[in-house]
Amino acid sequence: MTVDNNKLTTSSGAPVGDNQNSMTAGSRGPTLIQDVHLLEKLAHFNRERVPERVVHAKGAGAHGYFEVTNDLSKYTKAAFLSGVGKRTPMFARFSTVAGELGSADTVRDPRGFALKFYTEEGNYDLVGNNTPVFFIRDAIKFPDFIHTQKRHPQTHLKSPNAVWDFWSLSPESLHQVTILMSDRGIPATLRHMHGFGSHTFKWVNAEGQAVWVKYHFKTEQGIQNLDVNLAAKLAGENPDYHTEDLFNAIDQGDFPVWRLHVQIMPIEDADTFRFDPFDVTKVWSQKDYPLIEVGRMVLDRNPENYFAEVEQVTFSPGSFVPGIEASPDKMLQGRLFGYSDAHRYRVGTNHNSLPINCPHAKVSNYQRDGQMRSDSNGGSSVYYEPNSYGGPTESPADKPLAFKVSGEADSVGYDHHDHFTQAGDLYRLLSEDERTRLVQNIVGAMTPVDLDEIKLRQIGHFYKADPEFGQRIAEGLGLSVPGVV
């Protein structure tokens, strides 16, 4: 049978005879419910938007590949990292954190740096940011933190009071706040920023030996940032500036590249390191654990359809492959659940069967049914395990490495409470011009806060990081800090 592919059809494949006029009872009569094409169009239109991401709603993405330049198989048995020259297809999504889907690209905000590697052992997702640390270190605080970045329930406006109240009552945020308020808080483009896994992960080699690891993606385009006034101007004139820049660069053959390095810490060092290595508000000194090159990430192909690829792509820090495992990082542990659960709600229980998320590796399991099941749903094969009918079986060799646990089951925090040293170190690394802009940015952001109590509490944190840091902010806000803060 010959099919005319130029014919407009309904979703069930029937040809549409008239797409310009709805069916009515006479020229002026009411519209008829039997116009199923009209009903289908309106119903589908009402459902064209899936719920936007609660965080990282506004983003841009691209396809590319990861190529190994340094074989580190002595540290990890992950197949996609073995062998110099090995290439793995991948997809990257960059995003702002707090804004809605239609918000401006050039606001002061961390940028999401989410990567999906389509490996032969299944998909590996690395879901990080353009900063090496985060505001909080326990997932139980995440909903509260994000609430402060969103809109006030009465005014429906952003609330500096909520933002600085939370930060001042959560001193562990100081390191990330300092980075955010620095020049790097507004990248010039998505191509001109670094990316980080942020969390600590565990690598395991073929012999069952483990190390702790942190990921650093260094942009080969160089770091470039936006002046605050230019960023504000662009937010009004071209709110999609970063999205446009990434698309145009790839479209013109100017493919952005990042070079992946890792820091590797022996397992036993975690017990004696001066900071808790699983605390995501801290960095590891590169003097202690120098960067080791792994490979290059190249983005060389734009999406064909934004919704199908960028909007429907789903990432989860729990998407591991053999040789890469979780660490005791409390923030990571919460994200292992939170991200996949968000996708099941937002996109659907079968989100991993969508083309952009579907593993290139063979998928064999006993998960059946659910909304929008688009494949054969397992056909007539056996649907439970264990079974006697040759269904897929477990692979004991791929179990995560066993690890020891100890202590009482209780709600406990991290042992280390020095939230100030690393933020102070960062401040002292900045040039005088960079310090001046940092202080100006913080003063500008804190000026609208109503309560001096909140301002003074936050100034106290800056003062503990570096007395000059705190004093300059106090002076900028016209406040005097009583005694030694």
Compute the distance between CA of residue 465 and CA of residue 481 in angstroms, rounded to an integer.
15
Compute the distance between CA of residue 252 and CA of residue 243 in angstroms, rounded to an integer.
14
114 burial (CB, 10 Å; 0-12 / 13-18 / 19+) is buried
Compute the distance between CA of residue 222 and CA of residue 241 in angstroms, rounded to an integer.
18
Query: What is the model's pLDDT at position 4?
Result: 53
Give Cβ neighbours of residue 184 (< 8 Å, ≥ 6 apart). Answer: 130, 131, 193, 223, 225
The C-alpha R_g of the chain, in whole angstroms, comes to: 26
Nearest to 283 by CA among 265, 268, 295, 271: 265
**Number of CB atoms found within 10 A of residue 295's CB:** 24
Q: What are the C-alpha distances in Å from 93 to residues 62, 96, 277?
A: 7, 10, 27
Query: What is the model's pLDDT at position 403?
Result: 83
Selected catalytic residue, list 37, 56, 175, 343 = 56
Query: What is the model's pLDDT at position 483?
Result: 59
Active site residue 56: yes
Q: ∠ CA(170), CA(136), CA(108), 5° rounding?
A: 90
Q: Where are the beta strands (DSSP E) in 22-85?
A: 59-68
Whole-model pTM: value is 0.93
Active site residue 156: no
**Number of CB atoms found within 10 A of residue 19's CB:** 10
Compute the distance between CA of residue 217 and CA of residue 150 in angstroms, rounded to an integer.
29
Tell me which residue has tokens 């060092």: 269
Give Cβ neighbours of residue 324 (< 8 Å, ≥ 6 apart). Answer: 76, 78, 124, 201, 202, 203, 204
Q: Are 99 and 112 in contact (CB under 8 A)?
A: no
Selected catalytic residue, list 37, 123, 129, 194 = 129
Tell me which residue has tokens 């692979």: 395
pLDDT tens for the chain, 485 residues long, are: 444 568 888 888 888 888 888 888 988 888 888 888 888 888 888 888 889 999 999 999 999 999 999 999 999 999 999 999 999 999 999 999 999 999 999 999 999 999 999 999 999 999 999 999 999 999 999 999 999 999 999 999 999 999 999 999 999 999 999 999 999 999 999 999 999 999 999 999 999 999 999 999 999 999 999 999 999 999 999 999 999 999 999 999 999 999 999 999 999 999 999 999 999 999 999 999 999 999 999 999 999 999 999 999 999 999 999 999 999 999 999 999 999 999 999 999 999 999 999 999 888 888 888 888 888 888 899 888 888 999 888 888 888 888 887 777 788 888 778 999 999 999 999 999 999 999 999 999 999 999 999 999 999 999 999 999 999 999 999 998 765 44
Rounded to the nearest 5°, which phi and psi values hold at 453? Answer: -55, -40
3-class DSSP state for residue 475? helix
Tell me which residue has tokens 């270190």: 137
48 burial (CB, 10 Å; 0-12 / 13-18 / 19+) is exposed
